[in-house]
Structure 1
Amino acid sequence: MLALSEDTGEERGQALERMTIFYLQAAETADRLAYPGRVRLDGHPADPGLPLPRLRNADETRAWFNTEHGNLLAAERYARTHGFPHLSARIAHSLAGFLDAECRWQDAVDVLQHAAAHWSSSGDRPALCVALLCLSSTHASTGRYPQAAETGERALEIARATGDREAEAEALRVLGVLHWHLGENRTAVELHQKALAIRMTAGSIWDQAKCHNNIAISLLSLGEQDRALEYFRQAISGFRTAGDQSGLARALNNLGDLYAHKGDLTRARRAFEESLPLAESTGNLYAQATVRTNLAAILAESGDPGAALALHQQALREFQVLGDRKSQATAHNGLGEAHHKAGSADEAERHHRKALDIARGIGTTQEVTRALRGLGRTELGRGQLDSAAEHLEAAIAAAHRVNDPDEEARARDTLAEVRLATGDVRGAKELLRQALAMMCILDEQEAIRINNRLIEIDQTSTG
């Protein structure tokens, strides 16, 4: 109130400008301490007259961001609306690492779009490239895939035109993650390998670990488990060396996913249970929810659908808070599978249909395929054989289109049971042989089960 009664408008404006500069310099300092691996802009020299916060480590810095992020967003908005767009854009850039790590994606989109517009109009191409990289990653995290592709490709074009190899590697990695979201894993692997090639000559152990982890994820989706395992091990080693608990948690979670695909539920559960406390210690809600989803799937497969349902529900709530639509589809599919294990066909169908609606809406083929297979399995159990066959054939086609042999094999296996129920023994056996050929590479236990099923059918049909 004294400022309003005793200071002039010019004096108040100068005070607010000084406060904005303080928040900018504090955020730049904190960003470098909390998220040292980011592709970032060079900071301006700090004003020695400003009392910047004394932050000793990354944990203190992240806590400071959590306390101050509302004020930082207000400072960004003030600068943007009061004639200081350059300060606004730099605050947005300094906030981007925190907003991404804490999954505050809508805030990130809001401020980064303004920053990108400013740097585009001012002709600062290196700064524009960095803003577009952050935007692309954020759009992908929230299922805005066309926007993610547009901004990522623009960033890659600028990085190559300006000769910025670090930004080029990050653009390739960001686009690789986008193609993984879309189920285009061959393209994803190619992009990640190009990024890794750059990082091997001009990157840190941490940069390389991120690339190794991303390559392994897409290789796993392609059914190349041995290659994926080697890349996961390199990622885990790299994150341990770099001291990145968050990255280590993600890599261990992905390793657990690999073991789950191989049918090794004991090792899968061990990896997830090692990953979860690490994810919880970082405070990253997305990482925690992802591990819970995967652990829930193992519990359902291990005969504990009740515990699985509780974890899936918790993860779904967290993904809804985050606005992560792809992961919401994943959680709904997980709930559908757990309800199927628990004998709740109506609930299984409801969740698979919800997953299908979300996945089709954002164009993520992985969850579309899984939802179609779940619906086909539920309809088979009810004797709705025509609709079951329709959904399973669509699942096979979608999985084949994106080269997902695990989902394709499982859909063929279920469709074989539909064919048997209609009396088509020959068609069922052919589908099982095709599924067996895929599962011999992917999952030894599933391969044994399918082979035993073939033997059983032969004995029944000849007896």
Structure 2
Amino acid sequence: MLVLIDNASSSAQVRQLLPASPQCCVVVTSRSALPGLVAREGAVRVTLDTLSPEESVRLLSEAVGSARIEAKSSSALRVAELCGHLPLALRVVAERAAGRPRLSMAELVEEIVGEQHRLDALASDEDELTDVRAVFSWSYQALDPALRQAFRRLGLHAGGEIGIEAAAALMGIGVAGAKRRLRALADAHLLQEITVNRFRLHDLLRSYSVERALADETQEERTQAVRRVLSWYLLTADAARRAYLPYSPAVPLVPAGQVEVTEAFADGPEAMRWFETERLNLLAALRQAIELGQYDIGWKLPMATTGFYELQSHVSDWENNHRIGLQSALALGDPLGEATNRVMLGDVAWRLGRWVEATDMYEHVARLAHDLSVGWLEGFALRGLGLVQEAQENFDAAAELFDSALSVFRSSDFRRGEGMSLLSLGKCARSVGDLSSAVAYGAEAVATFEDIQDTWTVAWGKVALAESLTDLGRRVEAVAHLRSAVEVFRRFGDQRSETLGLLPLGELLLESGDADGARDCWSKAADLQEALRDPTATETRARLAGLEPHA
């Protein structure tokens, strides 16, 4: 396999992506020399120079026509020099020159040199924009005021790429107007459309955009623009949350104001695809929120996105987000923000087997939630404490805590929490051999989830119920539940849960004599485990090897 890592910023960023196999070749492009990769990984550095003067002129001629270049070739060489022989700057100049056919190369030189003289005070030996600032400024000044504002606002966006709706929020205009401005900037080569309706600034242009925003916008204007786009990410993420986990806990949001927020997620899978598309932007937005003191968004955004990171097994991002969320809530002195982020940090610690940390988090949340009279939060804290006890095989203590959580959820009419507690009671009953109670609890949990039409959680409940049904010998029912669950997980893109359904489904199919069905299940499970870097993939591959090959 050939792996291309484009525009890397540091050796540490690249190191996480290097494949272990010697059959793979990795090509890294970067504006940094990345000495760490050379020293530690033995990378071979290939330094690419800028274009030659002749290559630069050839690039210009492709856009403006060879006749204009040949008429004054010395001026064309001077233009190339003023562009630092960089393709990006050359294309910016060529695009504008192509739109002004009466402008000679000599006049073009005069305009750029005039702009350079105006900006000389900004140049320094350490300034990465020194070679091209005049070209960018010359092109920027030619834009109409609305496009100039759009360009400098884009530099305030924290993520590497931006969609039209987020750009509209940043600019403070409607989506249709934002689309026209983005396309106009792309036509001027000041912005790149990387996929349909998604755009990216070259890093040099981003630096210049930020420079212009600092020079041409007031602090109030910059703050309002960033606040709008951060609010858009929060409000849209919460709309997506309601589409894929409609009965998951909600927290108070922020006013939309003039921000246009889509509610048009057709279903859970569509919402999950939006999350995956915006994942890096959401992470960047959260970092920007806390850096700029937008602490309310800083604690609410992790709560709007928590289900996505959990379901998609982005555990590191999941934990980091809630640590930032907790930090934000503590900075505001907001006990609800503190409690909600702590309960999720308890879930992370529980999943990773850090029992003491999980217990501390859940106990802290239980006290805060009781004082705040927030029933769902207290219920999840009690259930979390039960999960820790269950994991350590203290089933009596776990069942008592699950029962307490069930009572709290029922008294606060939080149906999803009620179903989750029933599910946990069923798993506890199964662990101590009380299979009839396990099936009864599991069936009641699934019915509760179906009643509130919580599709993903219905599937999760069916996996647990299938385990108890299998133990009772009711394999046909178990297979039907597992098939249904696997299909839901697949539609949601939840690979971890899909694996948890495929493995027991394969076992049941093999026991019924369907070796081909078992082989198919375990093959898919192994592929998913390897994609998730799950070490148990080797066990699944071993199971596959143990099956007789298909005749």
8 Å CA contact retained: 1:309, 1:335: no
Q: CA deviation at 1:332?
A: 6.1
Q: Distance in 1 between matches of 2:336 and 2:403?
A: 23
8 Å CA contact retained: 2:240, 2:265: no
Judged with a 3 Å threshold, the aligned counterparts in structure 2 of structure 1 residues 130 and 52 are, in CA distance, closer, same or farther, namely same
Q: Deviations over 1:265-291 (max 9, x none)?
A: 444333322332233233322221110
Corresponding residue for 2:264?
55
Equivalent residue of 1:137, what SS? helix
Question: Matches of residues 55-94 of structure 1 in structure 2 within 5 Å?
Answer: 55-59=264-268, 60-94=270-304
Size of the aligned set, in residue pairs, is 338
8 Å CA contact retained: 2:502, 2:525: yes
Q: CA deviation at 1:63?
A: 3.3
Q: Distance in 2 between matches of 1:239 and 1:289?
A: 21
Q: Which of 1 and 2 has higher RCO (CA within 8 Å, sep 6+)?
A: 1
8 Å CA contact retained: 2:422, 2:441: yes
Q: CA deviation at 1:321?
A: 4.4
TM-score normalised to the size of structure 2? 0.55
Corresponding residue for 2:460?
250
Corresponding residue for 1:354?
none
Q: Distance in 1 between matches of 2:529 and 2:354?
A: 15
Question: Matches of residues 110-125 of structure 1 in structure 2 within 5 Å?
Answer: 110-125=320-335
Q: Distance in 2 between matches of 1:205 and 1:67?
A: 31
Equivalent residue of 1:8, what SS? helix
Bigger helix share: 1
- When Rg is computed on C-alpha atoms for both structures, the one with the higher figure is 2
Corresponding residue for 1:8?
214
Q: CA deviation at 1:335?
A: 6.3
Corresponding residue for 1:433?
none
Q: Deviations over 1:149-190 (max 9, x none)?
A: 332222122222333222111111222233333333322222
Q: CA deviation at 1:13?
A: 5.3
Question: Matches of residues 129-140 of structure 1 in structure 2 within 5 Å?
Answer: 129-140=339-350
8 Å CA contact retained: 1:305, 1:339: no
Judged with a 3 Å threshold, the aligned counterparts in structure 2 of structure 1 residues 39 and 56 are, in CA distance, closer, same or farther, namely closer
Q: Distance in 2 between matches of 1:112 and 1:19?
A: 20
8 Å CA contact retained: 1:189, 1:215: yes
Q: CA deviation at 1:138?
A: 2.5
Judged with a 3 Å threshold, the aligned counterparts in structure 2 of structure 1 residues 307 and 321 are, in CA distance, closer, same or farther, namely same
Opposite residue 470 of structure 2, the aligned amino acid is: A
8 Å CA contact retained: 1:104, 1:322: no
Q: CA deviation at 1:8?
A: 2.8
TM-score normalised to the size of structure 1? 0.65
Q: Distance in 2 between matches of 1:238 and 1:310?
A: 32
8 Å CA contact retained: 1:24, 1:90: yes
Opposite residue 179 of structure 1, the aligned amino acid is: Q
8 Å CA contact retained: 1:260, 1:268: yes
Opposite residue 7 of structure 1, the aligned amino acid is: A
Q: CA deviation at 1:134?
A: 1.3
Corresponding residue for 2:431?
221
Q: Distance in 1 between matches of 2:263 and 2:371?
A: 39
Q: CA deviation at 1:230?
A: 0.9
Structure 1, unmatched stretches of 5+, are 343-463
Corresponding residue for 1:286?
496
Corresponding residue for 1:105?
315
Opposite residue 250 of structure 1, the aligned amino acid is: W
Q: Deviations over 1:9-50 (max 9, x none)?
A: 545555334322332233334434443322332122221x11
Corresponding residue for 2:188?
none
Corresponding residue for 2:305?
95
User: Root-mean-square deviation (CA), in Å?
Assistant: 3.0
Question: Matches of residues 72-221 of structure 1 in structure 2 within 5 Å?
Answer: 72-221=282-431
Q: Distance in 2 between matches of 1:108 and 1:235?
A: 26
- Bigger mean CA deviation after superposition, 111-120 or 143-152: 143-152
Judged with a 3 Å threshold, the aligned counterparts in structure 2 of structure 1 residues 203 and 210 are, in CA distance, closer, same or farther, namely same
Judged with a 3 Å threshold, the aligned counterparts in structure 2 of structure 1 residues 31 and 338 are, in CA distance, closer, same or farther, namely closer
Q: Distance in 2 between matches of 1:191 and 1:321?
A: 36
Opposite residue 200 of structure 1, the aligned amino acid is: R
Question: Matches of residues 314-353 of structure 1 in structure 2 within 5 Å?
Answer: 314-319=524-529, 321-322=531-532
Sequence identity, in percent? 21
Q: Deviations over 1:280-326 (max 9, x none)?
A: 23332222111011112223444566754663454355345446x7x
Aligned pair partner of 2:231 in 13, 17, 21: 21
Structure 2, unmatched stretches of 5+, are 1-135, 137-150, 153-208
